[in-house]
Structure 1
């Protein structure tokens, strides 16, 4: 059975203290003196990773106990569930976890019979029982580990000593670890993967384990350099963080980026190690290999690290299989994207896409759940619930989880992990993402990287994600894989400790209502009360100090402009866009106001006053290019699109807003073609500054009646410049939807045009574009020959109308005309 010998070397390094194998074995024997019990008594370990965790685990076995492993970060409810279900009689804990344990014991049946041993409070007189000499048999349960609960209620997995010894012996044959190595311990032992891969297997061979307490990149690199770590066993999430940081630096230097591309083509570990020597030095210079498990690792990460001279072994398994059943061998061929062939003495086959396992590592069953056991173990085969395939060389490829597969109403199957990986790699603004089916469409739940947003001055997170990330993904995705909507999630997504998303909890996040948070202490300042009352009235929502102005209160870009202006009017100082990003939490915003305020005079936003402030705009020297464009477009629109134009007489001679619906990329060209020269001469389009940064493009703008604004960075200035046009008796052509239709249906209009119309007292001319979507839908490369109609409706004058009334009337008139066409 399982034994650890005195290898006459350091076994553990914890907080710079070195513990030899001899000292470890002595501590195990000492800890066994804490235990007086019958064999197979359930002993729970509810503690963080530390040497005493190992002593306790081994001491329990030496007395014939069954170890029940509990996540050190579990809630009191989760702890209570495991203690009740496992029939625990003895529990080891620490000062750090004692409070949670006592809370859990309040709901544990027979809690008075549970003996608690606090590792931090053990006294010498407690070591009073005989040292155990019990040797557990192969059939006895060695450990009871509760599944992470990614799909529902956790179940206790009974792993026998035979299961664990099969796992240890067969993975050693593949060179998973070597005796001379120092292994970095970053994962909690309560999970089966780190239990075997970073404790039981390496300690049976005599490796040195080095503990990391703080899971930060800085701390990990510090420990690796200090102790010259050779091997890291971790989950994809950790390797993804390393990869993201390294690739960011590589991609910032054209020469290094080219070297990486060349090394990727050569695909030689030796070449990669030479070319990227500095990267190896950052990891301490001694790392020979990474081992990844617990979840699927992106193939590109494996290839990128290999190009830098790092070998990554990816494996596959489950808690029910102790866990590894497939692994790329240290000495054999490694296939990026594959978890390797089956380990020795293990059979893997695919039935109806599902991965089935037959091996000595397969669990005895689920504790007290014979029916659940029968559902997954049939005729000696364990049904994993995972989907995959085996290639002609016997390598296993895992493609997803059967229960996670989304079945759409059209019969298509979608693997959410595939979509999530494709989307997250396109933007650093996404920290976490989960795709689910919601209201008969695919919905992306996104937890943004707020630090990245601040560093890059991204004021409107949701708009940026929707149009710069998801929309670009949708253009390339198959129809059934397109994302229909997004939800921004303020907190991290629910995950297991090894980083797997707990998908069954995702929809709860969407249906949760904001409850009154009476435990949050509100600042007792005049500034806070003023801001709270203003926002409560303005956004029609309850307001709390830790609310995010966009994610909790739902502010859009225009709301933020109003809020900025309110702060300026009320407190006498200007708050810029960068500060709006950095102080987007209410209590932080109030702190800023308290520091910078020059007065307190509660005044609401006056758009008219804002628009009348002095603003410089550069009018075009001529509309020459627009007129030339009209000449070029005329035969195309006439013969190819058979363009029909009505209602030009409805454009007044005075300055006005022209507001077409937005169906396709053709719309602006069609509007130009539909007008006569006089109207073109005095009509302006808005354009984003990022499209007109070169001198050549700036010249185009000057000769094309294009007003260049930075809408994303400063909406306030963009609105002021737009309003200034009317002072010169110019027209402004504005697409109120803010973006092209993605499905041919008109989107809701934004209220900016209504504010401009009301405060500058200019009429709005609704414009109906019909047929442009059918001619040139988004994603198409070449426009189709389809009939297109443009109709200019009668102007709507803003007198005696509110912003909302103007907005609704314009939208309704265009919508009605489209429905009747």
Structure 2
């Protein structure tokens, strides 16, 4: 049994320090260039030392911003904040300065911890690498589980900030549930490529692996050459990714085939029907490029098409699909099925209950559900209206069809999800990215934007042969830049595209 599972519910982040001591001199965290690295024993010491240092500078309940920190230092700073009963406010460094400043004011932050000495902040700043920490055997006071732990600004936060408040109970209960569904092996190596300001990366790319004694490598550069270098150097076992990362991997694989493309296509066809070990044998050279040990992708943060999943499963990789939101700390369901039904995101994890409202909206409940948005003027009662449209099958699997706000209802009463049209479009050769918006009176006209080499007339002909009469594409427009606008978690920003079209 996993060490954390011996406790019916985790009681404190302080329990991690005991785990770290048990994992001893095993590697815990490092940057991909290894300029910063910690064993588990050293990580526990550094957290205690920094916690003691921070304890003289903040009070319980105060908000502390985490901004522009190296991965290992982010982890240490985060633990030090929450163990001191303060509230962590992680911010993505790619946010523009005006938005950062708005968040500083919104949460009334008292302190900012960073590795960047040039960041402007109106109150106190700790520049991590400039501090010389004395050794300390500091121990925290007990933290009530319903104490606020952090405020996460969701992946859509590029306009008006919206901060999700999460308690210690929310996060620790979700970790306890996730560990019952997927347990990484001690010593496995994980390459971290997503921002730690995102709840998905915090849970699956940080808390899950360090609770299990894994070695996390924080990737410094996200270009394909650097990624492959790290995969080979560290012999990585699994990665936590959004579907866009796998799209880029797929593109990298297929674009460099040259004359061997027909052979590769033939091997893909026959590999579908083979056991996993034979798939890996057939594509041995590809697996060696990925370091030889990479076997698993944990995929979440956006819809994951069955076609993309089939591609990587056919190559011999395992894809574990998760569904959730920042408001649910974040995991709600997980699918580890060998043949995942279309649109299925698997079964609810332990302690989580999923229901479908009369209008098709997915409603989740459990101890992982956020009490509300900062400044907590209204409290939730453990129930979350997700804003997603879905269904449950007879086995209890959840299916997600799209966002409630992306469902177009025509004057005839007919309905269609914009995501369904986009999914069909991506199956056409020559389309890299796609986004559909509804415009005109009663949203009666559908406009498709895309990047890639496909011709506009080819796309509109292809789709309108498949779509019902009421949902035909009115116009196809090639986007004026190489990529469609996306958030820091690589979700395409439909509102920016809509606003750009409206002003043209």
- For the pair 1:277 / 2:295, whether they are aligned, the reply is no
Match runs of 1:545-556 below 5 Å: none
Q: Separation in 1 of the partners of 2:500 and 2:66?
A: 31
- For the pair 1:115 / 2:139, whether they are aligned, the reply is no
- For the pair 1:438 / 2:439, whether they are aligned, the reply is yes
- For the pair 1:476 / 2:466, whether they are aligned, the reply is yes
Partner of 1:341: 347
Structure 1 residue 10: Cα displacement: 0.6
SS at match of 1:34: helix
Structure 1 residue 160: Cα displacement: 0.9
- For the pair 1:25 / 2:44, whether they are aligned, the reply is yes
Which digits, 9 at most, give the CA deviation of each residue in 1:638-669, with x for residues without a partner?
xxxxxxxxxxxxxxxxxxxxxxxxxxxxxxxx
Match runs of 1:450-599 below 5 Å: 465-491=455-481, 492-512=483-503
Structure 1 residue 245: Cα displacement: 3.0
Partner of 1:809: none
Q: Separation in 2 of the partners of 1:91 and 1:150?
A: 20
Partner of 2:181: 174
SS at match of 1:232: strand
Structure 1 residue 189: Cα displacement: 0.3
Partner of 2:365: 358
CA 1:391 to 1:49, structure 2 compared with 1: closer, same or farther past 3 Å?
Answer: farther
Match runs of 1:382-397 below 5 Å: 382-397=384-399
Which digits, 9 at most, give the CA deviation of each residue in 1:20-75, with x for residues without a partner?
11221222222224322221211110114421111111111222211111011111
Query: Would you say the 8 A contact 2:170–2:329 is kept in 1?
Result: yes
Match runs of 1:680-759 below 5 Å: none
Structure 1 residue 196: Cα displacement: 1.1
Match of 2:424 among 404, 422, 425: 422
CA 1:128 to 1:65, structure 2 compared with 1: closer, same or farther past 3 Å?
Answer: farther
Partner of 1:294: 301
CA 1:164 to 1:84, structure 2 compared with 1: closer, same or farther past 3 Å?
Answer: same
Partner of 1:81: 102
Match of 2:264 among 251, 256, 273: 256
Q: Separation in 2 of the partners of 1:361 and 1:198?
A: 18
- For the pair 1:52 / 2:70, whether they are aligned, the reply is no
Query: Would you say the 8 A contact 1:354–1:388 is kept in 2?
Result: yes
CA 1:478 to 1:48, structure 2 compared with 1: closer, same or farther past 3 Å?
Answer: farther
SS at match of 2:473: coil
- For the pair 1:94 / 2:115, whether they are aligned, the reply is yes
Which structure's residues are more often helix, by fraction?
A: 1
Query: Would you say the 8 A contact 2:151–2:166 is kept in 1?
Result: yes
Q: Separation in 2 of the partners of 1:283 and 1:369?
A: 45
Which structure's residues are more often strand, by fraction?
A: 2
CA 1:77 to 1:130, structure 2 compared with 1: closer, same or farther past 3 Å?
Answer: farther
Which digits, 9 at most, give the CA deviation of each residue in 1:192-214, with x for residues without a partner?
00011111121122110011111
Partner of 1:401: 403
Query: Would you say the 8 A contact 1:313–1:334 is kept in 2?
Result: no
Query: Would you say the 8 A contact 2:237–2:293 is kept in 1?
Result: yes
Query: Would you say the 8 A contact 2:48–2:136 is kept in 1?
Result: no
Structure 1 residue 184: Cα displacement: 0.7
Q: Separation in 1 of the partners of 2:217 and 2:207?
A: 14
Structure 1 residue 128: Cα displacement: 10
How many residue pairs are counted as aligned between the two chains? 476
In the superposition, the TM-score normalised over structure 2's length comes to 0.88
Partner of 1:209: 216
- CA RMSD after TM alignment: 2.4
5+ residue gaps, structure 2, are 1-11
Match of 2:238 among 216, 223, 231: 231
Structure 1 residue 242: Cα displacement: 1.4
Query: Would you say the 8 A contact 2:49–2:135 is kept in 1?
Result: no
Query: Would you say the 8 A contact 1:150–1:501 is kept in 2?
Result: no
SS at match of 1:487: strand
In the superposition, the TM-score normalised over structure 1's length comes to 0.55
SS at match of 2:285: helix
Which digits, 9 at most, give the CA deviation of each residue in 1:198-235, with x for residues without a partner?
11121122110011111122211110111100011111
Partner of 1:679: none
Partner of 2:8: none
5+ residue gaps, structure 1, are 106-110, 454-463, 514-821
CA 1:482 to 1:250, structure 2 compared with 1: closer, same or farther past 3 Å?
Answer: farther
Query: Would you say the 8 A contact 1:52–1:119 is kept in 2?
Result: yes
Query: Would you say the 8 A contact 2:388–2:402 is kept in 1?
Result: yes
Match of 2:249 among 212, 230, 242: 242
